[in-house]
Structure 1
Amino acid sequence: DKAKQLELKKVVRRRQCRTNQARYRNKKRIYGDRLQHRVQQRQEELQALRLKRLRLCFSEKANLSPWDSVSEVFRLLETSFRSPWRMTSVDEMMKHAETQQSISQLRKSFAHDVSMDSASGVDALLEELCRYALYFSDPQIQLKRVESAVPGVLTASARLSVAVSEFTLSCVFPHLQGASRNQGACDDDEHRAFREKLLGQRLSCRCEMTFLLDEESGRVVRLETSINLVESLVQVLDDVVDVLKQALLTPECVVGDLVR
């Protein structure tokens, strides 16, 4: 009887230990989630303060529009990254007060035929700018600095962070979705290896935007964007040539149109 009681106590004790361990792990997970949420909130607040400081630093300048243009572009990007479903078109953007305000401000400071890559016009440019919000998962952008090396040219440097999802692979790297029937198993295996390495990866890229201004009007006539996605991909993949050669990206790593 004593042996049975002792064994029973051991069983009960083990159950209690497992319950306590599970409770501890659950508390630890909840605490970690809360901490991560707070960190994300602080990062968003810090980014908002950076943009506010940028506007204040140049509030005494005679011509505010070029600096305000930079600020509004990054403000619109931040909004698109938080709410990508709003960014399918400019018409959809105009339904929401926050994006509507940014677009209204940009239309005042951009030339009507402003260009970026193959896009021309304010609406086309804005839709192209917001494609990273649509095609990548959990995009984040952090403005680092704004410089004016020569009159009429503003350069904004930032850090862009994006995660690769299944939707990213199908839209940006469709050639990695699987081998065709005429291809061998070796090619299929190679594509599978690329997909497995890319899926779920967070890529941190240096990003630069150059605003070219009209001398007379002071409006932005061209926006040149360069995203160093290659540098980030090299850290994940051994060979980026096969991944990039058919990707729907411009040489500056701007996302191309969904349908080509």
Structure 2
Amino acid sequence: MTIKHDVQKLRADIPVLELQRKRLQYGGQQGVWNVVAEYFRNFRFGVPITLSETSADEEACNTLKLPEYADNAEAKHQLAFLRSCMAEDVSLGERCGVETLMQQWQAYSLSFNNLHFELKRIERTSRQFVHAVAKMTVTVSETTLKSLFPHVNSASLRTRLVGQRLELPCTLCFEWDESAGRVSRLETTVNFMAPLLKALGDVSDVALLLESARITRDGAVGIRDA
């Protein structure tokens, strides 16, 4: 059992080492472009989610409980990528850390169906900063309502929401630490207002939806602003 565990751990380390090797082949400007492009490639469909029976029970109780990803090869590769190109305590606005970023991707993937994350435009505004414009397309499900909008009791509003395909505009700012060859800060903003207004057609419904939603001002989900 121990040997099997050790083999699995060694296999999990391979993606980290491979990504670090590739990154060392590039320097300076080429490195940051590659990191941004790889970030979008790695998370274009979010992260794989497999709910355990316990997680499903928690979800039914309106609690966003993130499943473990330690035994999922794809999720481990995604985490390895983040650790290979970002500071361990990477700043994420009001939050920080590679694990926190991974957990946000889990929260999005758990809260919505059919997630697709697409890079639209990228621009390097200085030696340190790269700005990206993107679109995240998601489908609203019953899980979305339970985990992000549990305060909405209107059956009519809930019915109108479920099944809606939302195109969420996103902006991302990557701050590059040239001395470390890693991203030191990543600020992401996700706009829920415009897509929800387009889907519902009523400002008051959108206001009701977002008033106590478990979505922060910068678009982090499963969290309420203080």
TM-score by length of 2: 0.72
Q: Which amino acid aligns with 2:135?
A: R
Q: Which amino acid aligns with 2:121?
A: R
Runs of 5+ unmatched residues, structure 1: 1-54, 179-190
Is it true that 1:71 corresponds to 2:34 in the alignment? no
Equivalent of 1:148 in 124, 130, 153: 124
Q: Which string of whole-angstrom CA distances, capped at 9 and with x for unpartnered residues, describes residues 160-189 of structure 1?
A: 11111111001111111x2xxxxxxxxxxx
Distance 1:222 1:193 in 2: 41
SS in 1 for 2:87: strand
Residue in 2 aligned with 1:164?
A: 140
Q: In the TM superposition, what is the alpha-carbon distance from 1:61 to its structure 2 partner?
A: 5.8
SS in 1 for 2:217: coil
C-alpha contact 1:157 1:208 (8 A) present in aligned 2: yes
C-alpha contact 2:119 2:133 (8 A) present in aligned 1: yes
Is it true that 1:242 corresponds to 2:214 in the alignment? no
C-alpha contact 1:155 1:210 (8 A) present in aligned 2: yes
1:1-260 → structure 2 map (5 Å cutoff): 62-81=28-47, 83-85=48-50, 88=66, 92=69, 94-176=70-152, 178=153, 191-237=154-200, 238-239=202-203, 240-257=206-223
Q: Which string of whole-angstrom CA distances, capped at 9 and with x for unpartnered residues, describes residues 9-34 of structure 1?
A: xxxxxxxxxxxxxxxxxxxxxxxxxx
Q: In the TM superposition, what is the alpha-carbon distance from 1:64 to its structure 2 partner?
A: 4.0
Q: Which string of whole-angstrom CA distances, capped at 9 and with x for unpartnered residues, describes residues 179-221 of structure 1?
A: xxxxxxxxxxxx2232122111111121121111225323211
Determine which structure has the larger helix proportion and give its number: 1
Question: Number of paired residues?
Answer: 186
TM-score by length of 1: 0.63
Distance 2:221 2:93 in 1: 11
Distance 1:256 1:140 in 2: 19
Residue in 1 aligned with 2:9?
A: none
Determine which structure has the larger strand proportion and give its number: 2
Runs of 5+ unmatched residues, structure 2: 1-21, 52-64
Runs of 4+ in 1 over 6 A off after TM superposition: none
Taking a change above 3 Å as real, the CA distance of residues 60 and 108 of structure 1, as seen in their structure-2 partners, is: closer
Taking a change above 3 Å as real, the CA distance of residues 216 and 74 of structure 1, as seen in their structure-2 partners, is: same
C-alpha contact 1:136 1:167 (8 A) present in aligned 2: yes
Provide the alpha-carbon RMSD of the alignment. Answer: 2.7
Q: Which amino acid aligns with 2:85?
A: S
Taking a change above 3 Å as real, the CA distance of residues 160 and 73 of structure 1, as seen in their structure-2 partners, is: same
Q: Which string of whole-angstrom CA distances, capped at 9 and with x for unpartnered residues, describes residues 205-239 of structure 1?
A: 21121111225323211111111211101112202
Distance 1:199 1:96 in 2: 29
C-alpha contact 2:111 2:147 (8 A) present in aligned 1: yes
Comparing 114-123 with 151-160, greater Cα deviation is found at 114-123
Q: Which amino acid aligns with 1:151?
A: R
Q: Which has the higher contact order (CA 8 A, sep 6+)?
A: 2
SS in 2 for 1:144: strand
